């Protein structure tokens, strides 16, 4: 698959089969992320690969966040139901890669650029997963930014999660992509 095809045909795939992926396949995805561009060659991305019971780290964090946010009047039985429902989110794919940014402390490095580099790493991983015939989705949302989630991955104060990438064999056909014409989003500045 050439790069243009991968870019145009890649879609977010939230439904995948519960079939473990070979470690060599996972390593190819990680390697693609590792080749993202970064200002000052800081390579600020960090990958937390969760398979099998390793996804319990994520499941526990989802459950703990949900329990913390439950109404004070919620019964213990209902809280346990909430915990179980939220924990299942970690098992929506056989592979989950949490991607964090560990910004450089070098004063000439812009923190925002470190996040941009980590996001580029995620896009590389999504494209590589697609080229390997896999389905993937970049998940985020409020729980990803919660201090409990940060502690689950033992992130330092200056580090942040930027993505939870769920990957597996697609369980659904990929939808056709649609984009508005690039001309609607482009300003040409010429002489």
Q: What is the CATH number of the domain that holds 76?
A: 3.40.109.10
User: Does residue 191 form part of some domain?
Assistant: no
Transcribe the chain into DSSP letters. Answer: --HHHHHHH--B---B---PPPHHHHHHHHHHHHT---GGG---EEEEEEEGGGGHHHHHHHHHHHHHHS-TT--HHHHHHHHHHHHGGGGSSSEEEEEEE-----TTS-HHHHHHHHHHHHHHHHHHHHHTT-EEEEE-SHHHHSHHHHHHTT--TT-EEEEEEEEESBSSPPPPP----GGGG------
116-139 average pLDDT score: 98
Q: Which pLDDT band holds residue 74 (cuts at 50, 70, 90)?
A: confident
Number of domain units in the chain: 1
Q: Is the pLDDT of residue 93 over 90?
A: yes
User: Does residue 190 form part of some domain?
Assistant: no
User: Does residue 39 form part of some domain?
Assistant: yes
Rounded Cα gap, residues 101 and 83, in angstroms: 28
Q: Is the pLDDT of residue 122 over 90?
A: yes
User: Does residue 125 form part of some domain?
Assistant: yes
What percent of the chain is predicted at pLDDT more than 90? 91
Instruction: Provide the angle, in degrees to the nearest 10, between the axes of the packed helices 111-131 and 23-34.
Output: 140
Rg (CA), the chain: 19
List the domain range (segments joined by +) for residue 166. 3-185
Beta bridge pairs of residue 96: 50, 166
User: Does residue 155 form part of some domain?
Assistant: yes
User: Does residue 127 form part of some domain?
Assistant: yes
Q: Which residues contact 108 (CB under 8 A, 6 or more apart)?
A: 40
User: Does residue 117 form part of some domain?
Assistant: yes
Q: Is the pLDDT of residue 61 over 90?
A: yes
Average pLDDT of the chain is 96
User: Does residue 10 form part of some domain?
Assistant: yes
pTM of the entire structure?
0.94
């Amino acid at each position: 698959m050439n790069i243009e095809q991968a870019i145009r045909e890649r879609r977010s795939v939230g439904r995948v089969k519960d079939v473990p992926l070979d470690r060599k396949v996972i390593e190819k995805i990680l390697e693609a992320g590792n080749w993202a561009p970064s200002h000052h060659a800081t390579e600020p991305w960090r990958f937390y690969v969760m398979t099998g019971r390793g996804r319990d780290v994520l499941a526990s964090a989802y459950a703990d966040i949900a329990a913390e946010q439950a109404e004070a009047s919620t019964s213990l039985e209902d809280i346990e139901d909430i915990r179980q429902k939220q924990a299942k989110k970690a098992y929506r794919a056989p592979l989950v890669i949490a991607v964090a940014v560990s910004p450089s402390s070098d004063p000439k490095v812009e923190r925002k650029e470190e996040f941009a580099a980590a996001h580029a790493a995620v896009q590389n991983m999504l494209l590589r997963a697609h080229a390997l015939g896999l389905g993937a989705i970049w998940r985020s949302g409020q729980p990803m930014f919660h201090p409990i989630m940060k502690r689950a991955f033992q992130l330092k104060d200056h580090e942040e999660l930027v993505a939870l990438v769920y990957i597996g064999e697609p369980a659904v056909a990929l939808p056709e992509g649609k984009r508005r014409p690039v001309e609607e989003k482009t300003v040409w500045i010429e002489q």
